[in-house]
Amino acid sequence: MKNYGRKLAPVEEEFELYQNQLEGTGSIAALMRVRGAINIHVIKQSLSLIQQHHPFLQMHIVDSKDGMYFETEQAPEIPLRIVERNKEKQWLEVIEEEFSQKFDSQRDPLLKLAYIPSAIGSDIFDLIFTIHHSISDGVSLIELCREFLDYCARIAAGEQV
């Protein structure tokens, strides 16, 4: 039996329809340019923790005969894409790519992350969070990014989280 969370509100349903019909228009993104070093395992662990902490990051959207619902059955991990840095503003191309790719919202989590490691001789790396607009607005996404960085710092410091 399917585990439907709740029916999408009309505005959430609109964002899902935009996502399916007009590429990228149902998504929002946040770029974080971070100074320092980070281990990919810290990123993965922090991503897992925010997914565990936020129920909407464990859901996807299903279209049933009586409307669209958030479903919580078998949530896969939030996708992490590692992008080779070829130039200083690589993040701009990645954001454009993220907006051009639709979420497979009936199967995948409604958040994805792109990581662009530091260039040689630099200590700045980029993180690009892209989220389905049906579960977040810009302010909420920034708060999610802040929480993610907090987890990264705590894990890197050896704290138990």
Q: Is residue 112 part of a domain?
A: yes
Q: Is residue 129 part of a domain?
A: yes
Average pLDDT of the residues in 33-41: 92
The predicted structure's pLDDT at residue 107: 84
**CATH no. for residue 150?**
3.30.559.10
Point out the least confidently predicted range of 1-10, 92-101, 134-143. 1-10
Backbone angles phi, psi at 9, to 5 degrees: -70, 160
Identify which of 130, 124, 107, 109 has the alpha carbon closest to the alpha carbon of residue 31.
Answer: 130
Using DSSP, state whether 114 is helix, strand or coil.
strand
Q: Is residue 70 part of a domain?
A: yes
In our burial notation (b when 16+ CB lie closer than 10 A, e otherwise), range 78-113 reads: beeeebebeeeebbeebbeebeeebbebeebbbbbb
The predicted structure's pLDDT at residue 11: 77
Q: Is residue 59 part of a domain?
A: yes
Point out the least confidently predicted range of 6-20, 47-61, 108-122, 144-158. 6-20
Other C-beta atoms lying within 10 Å of the C-beta of residue 119: 14
Of residues 22 and 47, the one with the higher pLDDT is: 47
Domain count, the chain: 1
Q: Is residue 89 part of a domain?
A: yes
Confidence band, pLDDT 50/70/90 cuts, at residue 1: very low
The predicted structure's pLDDT at residue 69: 82
Identify which of 75, 70, 31 has the alpha carbon closest to the alpha carbon of residue 53.
Answer: 75
Question: Encoding tokens for residue 138?
Answer: 């810009």
Q: Is residue 62 part of a domain?
A: yes
Question: Encoding tokens for residue 89?
Answer: 């503003």
Check if the beta carbon of residue 80 is closer than 8 Å to that of residue 45.
no
Question: Encoding tokens for residue 5?
Answer: 């969370």
pLDDT tens per residue, range 126-143: 999 999 888 888 999 999
Question: Encoding tokens for residue 158?
Answer: 């050896």
β strands within 8-83, DSSP E: 27-35, 60-64, 67-71, 80-82
Q: Is residue 40 part of a domain?
A: yes
Q: Is residue 161 part of a domain?
A: no
Domain with 110 in it? 4-156
